[in-house]
Structure 1
């Protein structure tokens, strides 16, 4: 008997996208994008508004059909086998989709029963997730009483009740304070150990830098850059020597003094930056000029390009 969803040969990638196109009339939301995510890795999908991030996730999650191209989850085509793909994935939106009147453990059990798990399996899986996400202290507290960060951890745990192969995380730390954000980052990073592949969309470039094994940047429906965070940062140009001027120091006068260096445009008051192609050697030269002129600075240091720099350069999102 032929299986309803014949399993393809095990692919190297958990997510494969090739020539993906999505049009709405004359509008190309996606215009032939390509990328792949190896099993057990985290991909950061970045881009300004209307770049195609949401459309890409919607197609991979079988919520929309592509106009052209191919998208696969664990080797299954999202168009040809949407039912099988839905069994392999889980999707967590920007805001926790939990029942506030239920406890954390009850929410996990609820989602387990909703997905068809038997009562005994639900109890075992709930206990596993409570331990995995360190929810013991809040398991019997109503979700409505939990902090934003803890609610998000429960939400991510609920998304893993069915042991998905691929987890889509959409803006997982939106609106969280720094402490809660760090806690969620630790939770997401821990998914690697579980062998779960994660596609992360985020507006926090620091988040992508910290969590993602690789990054795909979209702009106007096209891939404008792809690589590891370090590879992308290397594309943003040389390092810079950044100076925070002492109060009362005239930035224009200091800029004139540093005329032999390549100054970069800055928008922060009291902060200047020059290109530092020779790294610390350039910083030493700047310090020597400042000392000779008896110019005081509050801080000086070598700054490497950030993902913010890459994002602004490549997506024209300034």
Structure 2
């Protein structure tokens, strides 16, 4: 079955370079009309120019696709609103949003300023929320929408020197979980990419060149294209790099029940290995899952005693 986006309109943020550029070109090649958004700043977010994004638009249009450029700063609500209005005025709908814009301000936490912490959170997490909030009413009205947020192994597993970046990327998991539930009856699906690829944001982190050369943006784009397709899942975390693809989950161990007299730190310490055992883990569809697990354990204990 071939996947295409004919008749669909997509907004891709941070699309002047790297992953966003690859995403925008691939969506257009498969029939989508694309807004190529990029503020055009450096890796740390300073400066700005739409020249890179315009080059992507020129490439798409020269290849027979349809694209427009937009330089909105994803942290500015008025600029994002204007971008969405321009899209609606031109094409009348927004079917796909790929939240890809991002910056890096890496430092160990004790050397990091809180200004750098806030700035990275603002671009990655708040910027994702601002863009999503701007298209959400449109997607609800259409009863159709596909949203991809760009998380990271830093958010899922941690990377030294990226407390700000990792916090932003981990925050997207909670964001996705809530919107998955809120969007379900309106035909809106939301997913996360957790990519590693050769881009200007990864050139200085010490990955050997032979490995880095395999980590193409196009390999990540293949997963993105699936996650914004009509038959996409929702609430999926797709970890991907160099042609490898896996699904990430937030899970809990089965855990234990302690009766009231045993609910002490000493008893928790004594049974920590049992609490931590991964022999039996659970994936929950919503936040009531863990509570029900523990309530059932309490009921089983009461029934036996």
When the two structures are superposed, what TM-score results if normalisation uses the length of structure 2? Answer: 0.35
- The structure having more radius of gyration, on CA atoms, is 1
Structure in which a larger fraction of residues adopt helix: 2
Higher strand share: 1
TM-score (norm 1): 0.34
